[in-house]
Every structure is written in C-alpha cells, then in structure tokens.
Amino acid sequence: MTGYLNQSIDTAMIRSMTAYAQRSAEAGSGQLTWELRSVNQRYLDLSLRLPEDFRILEPDIRQAFKQRVNRGKIEAGLRFHADPALESARLRLNEELADGLGRLIGQLGRHTPGAAQPDMAHLLGWPGLVIQERPDFDSERGAAMDLLDQALAALVEAREQEGRAIAGMIESRLAGIEAQVAEVRKHLPAIRAGLEQRFRDRLAALEHPVDPGRIEQEIVLQLQKLDVDEELDRLAVHVAEIRRVMNLDEPVGRRLDFLMQELNREANTLGSKAAVVETGQAAIELKVLIEQMREQIQNVE
C-alpha cells in the first residue's frame, strides 16, 4: 500500500469555480464584447445580460454554458457598440409625416402672421419623424455566438489554471497528512510499551493482589481501546482516494468535499484516543491540514 500512497498528482484535472474572461471582436455593424465572471456555487447558476436585439439567442447561450460548465454562479454579459457611421446611414425621414407637419405649420402661420418659424432641430425630435432602419442582425448574432465560444474557452482555461494551483496546495497538505501518519506509526511501539508499563504500575500499587491473568486481560482491553492502527490505515486510504479522484476527467468537487468529511472523522477519532502527547499533537495537526484543504475544495467544480 505504501507505494500506492506515495503517488503524486501528475495531471490533476480539477477546475476552480472562480474565474474571469473577456473577449471582444468586430461584427458587421459594430463591436461585440463578452464578459464572464464565475464564483463558487453548488449548482450551475447562470445570470445573463443581453442587448434587446440579442435576446433571441438566450436558449442557445444557456445550452453553450451547460456543455462547457457544470457548477458555479456565472454572470455573463454581452455588450454591442454600434458603428456611429452605420447608425447615421440608417436614418431616414418619414416624408408623409413631414408633409403633414409642413402643412400644419403653414396653416398656423396664416393664423398668426409675424410669428417665428419653428426650429428644425426641435422638429426632428417629433415622435416618428426620423425613422431608424433596423438591420436584421443575423450576422451580428452569429458573430456573438462565435465570440461566446472563445470567451467560454478562456473561462474554462482560467478555471483549469486556478484548479492546478488548488491541486498543488492539496497535494502539499496530503503529504503533510502522510507525514503525521508516519510519525504516529513510528512512535506506536514505544507508546504501547509505555501505556502497558503505566497500567502495570497502577495495578501493582493496589492494596489487594490481582490475578495475573486478570491483569493481562485488562492490559489488552485498555490497549485495544487506545489502538489507532485502524484510524491510521483509513487516513492513508482516504489520501490515496483523494489523489485518484483529483485525476479524474470530470467534476469532482462534491466527491472531494465528502472525502474531507471522512478525513475529519478519522482525525477526530484519533484525537479522542490520544493517550500520549504525540498522538494528540498529530490529531490537531491533521485537523488543521484538513480544514485548509476543505476551504480550497469549496471552489472546486
């Protein structure tokens, strides 16, 4: 088992849920910009901000995220800055309305001779007088989806990069757990001998003699109660399982969180059996290492 436990995380596949990505590109009539932010969440929670002309894409956008991301609270915003030159080229005058307004102005002038003529700049603000022709936006929508694919790839890469940093931290804590387990194992023979001797001394100090067979039974019983071999073995098994899980090519955050609970349970049991300083100190150090890992695993997808 020792050789297996000493395996390291060579190509950890874990991803962090905390990441940021932004991508921009020129579209047919302006500039598109995607901005993606991701933080930890138990499930996939996607919040979208889209310009009105791009809302028709929402089902496709959500499907794109589901195909690339499994967990995390994600805020995704699309901005579209139209080209001012193209915007002005699409303006045209509502000639029918302009003719009607012209007739009304002429009639009003005949009723109020000498009155100032209306300002043309103000007339342009008349509702419906200036019509802005809207493009079909098909090419812009297609460009938005292509750009989203690039932004999602960047987000996933950022999550993987952060995941590699988390994996390195976890590996160092796993090595720390193995060191504590090895240290306790090294002291076990001396610990058992010391406990047995102290128990014999206490029995020898009793006023009434005790049957030697009874003494042996009591010693064995007490040593069994304080035996930590099983806890040490389970700690080693959990460490090996964490390393295996971290190399899976799939979301593993929930599995790792469960394994942290299992590690913590064994550390607590080890602490409850601490009959000597060495075991008690190891239990405390184990809990510190496990808590440090647990905090980071909360961000793992």
Contacts of 67 (CB under 8 A, 6+ apart): none
Strands 91-93 and 44-49: unpaired
Q: What is the pTM of this model?
A: 0.68
- Asked if residue 86 has pLDDT above 60, the reply is no
Structure tokens at 8: 């390291």
pLDDT reported for residue 145:
96
- Separation between Cα atoms, residue 161 and residue 107, nearest integer Å: 73
pLDDT in tens, 103-151: 777 777 777 776 667 777 677 677 877 666 666 678 889 999 999 999 9
More confident residue, 230 or 296: 296
pLDDT reported for residue 48:
97
Q: Quick check: 37 and 20 in contact, CB under 8 A?
A: yes
- Asked if residue 11 has pLDDT above 80, the reply is no
pLDDT reported for residue 155:
97
More confident residue, 173 or 230: 173
pLDDT reported for residue 239:
96
Q: Quick check: 251 and 301 in contact, CB under 8 A?
A: yes
Strands 44-49 and 19-26: unpaired
pLDDT reported for residue 133:
60
Which CATH architecture does the domain made up of 9-85+137-159 adopt?
A: 2-Layer Sandwich (3.30)
Share of the chain above pLDDT 90, in %: 49
Query: Across the chain, what does the average pLDDT equal?
Result: 82
Residues in the chain: 301
pLDDT in tens, 14-53: 899 999 999 999 887 789 999 999 999 989 999 999 998 8
- Asked if residue 225 has pLDDT above 50, the reply is yes
pLDDT reported for residue 183:
87
Over residues 244-256, mean pLDDT: 92
pLDDT reported for residue 19:
95
Of 59-68, 134-143, 218-227, the range with the lowest mean pLDDT is 218-227
pLDDT reported for residue 2:
36
pLDDT reported for residue 3:
37
- Separation between Cα atoms, residue 223 and residue 197, nearest integer Å: 11
pLDDT reported for residue 217:
62
pLDDT reported for residue 8:
43
pLDDT in tens, 199-209: 666 666 666 66
CA 148, 150, 153, 154 dihedral sign is: negative
Domain ranges of the chain: 9-85+137-159, 91-132, 160-297
